[in-house]
Amino acid sequence: MPNYVFLIDQNKKPLNPISPARARKLLVQNKAAVFRRYPFTLILKKVIPEPTIRPLTIKLDPGSKTTGIAILDNDKVIWVAELSHRGQQIKEDLESRRALRRGRRNRKTRYRQARFNNRKRALSWLAPSLLHRVQTIKTWVKKIMRYSPVSNCVMELVRFDTQRMQNGEIKGVEYQQGELAGYEVREYLLEKWGRKCAYCDATEIPLQIEHIIPRASSGSNRISNLTLACAPCNQAKSNQNIRDFLADKPSLLSRILKVAKLPLKDAAAVNSTRWKLYQTLKNILPTITGTGGQTKWNRSRFNLPKKHYIDAAATGIINSLVFLTHQPLKIKANGHGTRQMCGTNKYGFPIRHRSNIKIHKGFQTGDIVKALVTKGKKIGTYIGRVLVRKSGNFDISIASGRVGGISHKYCTHLHQKDGYQYSFSR
C-alpha cells in the first residue's frame, strides 16, 4: 500500500492528500500534472474556491540516526517516511578539517598564539552534528506543511537517563520508580543489539537481559556489561564467563565485546536535541509531546512491529490506529556537497583543484534524471542520479550500478538536487 499523494490547486494552496488510485485518475483525465516527485505532489489545473479541508496531524519519532514521520487524518495513517540523518558524517568531516588546519598551522605559523579563549558560544549552542538533526526535521515539517493542511504536531519527547543506564545501582533512584522504571535500559539494549539474541541472532522471540560477566563473578549492572539473549542461550551460558562460553567461537566473542563497549552517544544525542527540537517545532505550529512509554504501550496494544514510521504514528494519546500505507519514503540526508576548492591527500597536502562551476549543460551532480538513449551502444531508458562533467557526457547511477558516457542531450530533469537521496521500502 503506497503513500497517499499530496495535492495542491492552481494557486498552490494545499488540499487534502488523495489515494494513489484517485491521483492516477486525475492524471489520465488531464485534470492534474506532476508538481514534485519527492514527496510526490500533484497540482490541479484549476482553482478550488472553497475547498473542504480536514486538518491533518504530523507525528514524529526523533532518533539519533533515523527519524520516523507519519501524517494522520484522524486515526488513519496516510503518509509515512523515515528520515536518515548524517550527523556522523558531519562529525567526521569536521574532524578531518580540524586535522588539516592544525597540520597547516604547525607547518606555517608554528608560534601563533592560541585564540580559543576569544570564542564564546551561546547558551543554547549545539554541536553541528546535533544541530543538523533539528534543522533537517524542521525542513521536512515545513516542506510537508507546504503541500498538505497540517494543523498540529505530536512528537515523542523521550529522555534517556545515562547515569541510570551506566550504573543500575546508583543511589537515590526513587524518581525512576514509576511506570517507566527500566524502560530506558531495555529500549537502549534493544536498539544497541539489533533486537536479536547476541549469541544465536534469533529474532521475533522474547529476549532477556543477560550479564556478560556474571553477577556471581562480580559483574556489574553497567550498560557495558549487559546484552540480550534468548532463553535457551541464557540458560546455556548460566554463570559462565563469556570467554569460557564462547571459547570455540572467537569471532562471535570479539564482536560481542566490541559492541558492548560502544559509547552512549546515541542516547546523548537524543537527550541533547529533544528540547531544542521541541522549541523549534513549537514556533512553526502547535506541538504536543508524548512519552516513550506511551509509544511502546500503543505499539504493543495494537500489535505493531518496531519500525521508525510506526513509532511515529503511535506517538501520543491515541484511541485507534488504521494504516492505509506501509511503504515509507526513505529519505537520506546527503548534504549539498563541499565548498572545499582544493582537494588534499590523507596527509593534508593539495593534490587536485575543484572547479567552482557546479552546473554543466543545465544539470548538476545529484539531479535525478531520465535518459532516453536512442542510438549507440547504450540504447535504452535510464532513471537515476546523475554525475555531471564539463564535457557533457554524464554518468547515471541506477539500481544495477552506474552507466557512463550518457550525453546530456538524452537527459531530462525529474527532480532537481535538494541534498537528499530518495528510495522506497518494499
The 10s digit of each residue's pLDDT in 78-103 is 999 999 999 999 999 899 888 888 88
Q: How many CA atoms lie within 13 A of 282 on its CB side?
A: 9
Mean pLDDT of 57-83: 94
Q: Is the pLDDT of residue 172 over 60?
A: no
**Nearest CA among 240, 296, 62 for reference residue 156:** 62
Identify which of 17, 26, 4, 136 has the alpha carbon closest to the alpha carbon of residue 82: 136
What percentage of the chain reaches a pLDDT higher than 70? 92
The pLDDT value given to residue 180: 42
**pLDDT confidence tier of residue 263, bands split at 50, 70 and 90:** low
CA distances from residue 38 to 30, 211, 286 in whole angstroms, order as listed: 21, 46, 25
DSSP β-bridge partners for residue 210? 227
Q: Which pLDDT does position 356 carry in this prediction?
A: 81
State the Cα–Cα distance between residues 350 and 297, nearest whole angstrom: 55
What distances in angstroms separate CA 15 from CA 8, 144, 322, one per listed residue? 5, 12, 21
Give yes or no for residue 176 having a pLDDT over 50.
no
Do residues 48 and 9 make contact, with C-beta atoms less than 8 angstroms apart? yes
The half-sphere exposure of 337 on its side-chain side, counting CA atoms within 13 A, is 17
Mean pLDDT of 233-259: 88
The neighbouring-strand residues paired with 81 are: 69, 329
C-alpha to C-alpha distance for 264 and 354, rounded to whole angstroms? 38
CA distance 147 to 143: 7
Between CA 25 and CA 40, with CA 413 as vertex, the angle to 5 degrees is: 40
DSSP for 137-197 reads HHHHHHHHHHHS-EEEEEEE-----HHHHH-TT-S--GGG-STTTTHHHHHHHHHHTTTS-
Strand pairing report for 150-156 and 56-61: parallel
159 pLDDT higher than 70: no
Average pLDDT along the chain = 86
Asked if 335 contacts 374 with a C-beta cutoff of 8 angstroms, the reply is no
Confidence of residue 357 (pLDDT cuts 50, 70, 90): confident
3-class SS string, 204-270: CCCCEEEECCCHHHCCCCCHHHEEEECHHHHHHHCCCCHHHHCCCCHHHHHHHHHHHCCCCHHHHHH
Say which DSSP state 131 is in: H
pLDDT digits (tens, 9 = 90+) for 399-425: 888 998 999 999 999 999 999 999 886
**Range from 131-140, 192-201, 304-313 carrying the lowest mean pLDDT:** 192-201
Instruction: Give the DSSP letter string of 328-393.
Output: PEEEEE--S----SEEE-TTS-EEEE--S--EETTEETT-EEEEEE-SSTT-EEEEEEEE--TTSE
The pLDDT value recorded for residue 426 is 59
> Residue 250, preceding bond cis, omega within 30 degrees?
no
Mean pLDDT of the region 300-322: 91
The one-letter code for the residue type at 13 is K
> What's phi and psi for 343, nearest 5 deg?
-75, 145
In this predicted structure, the answer to whether residue 261 has a pLDDT above a threshold of 90 is no
User: How high is the pLDDT of residue 165?
Assistant: 47
The cell 541534498 sits on which residue?
419
In three-state secondary structure terms, 93 is: helix
C-alpha 235/C-alpha 233 separation (Å) is 5
Helices (H) and strands (E) in the chain, counts: 11, 23
The pLDDT tens digits of the residues spanning 95-146 come to: 988 888 888 888 887 777 777 777 788 888 899 999 999 999 999 999 999 9
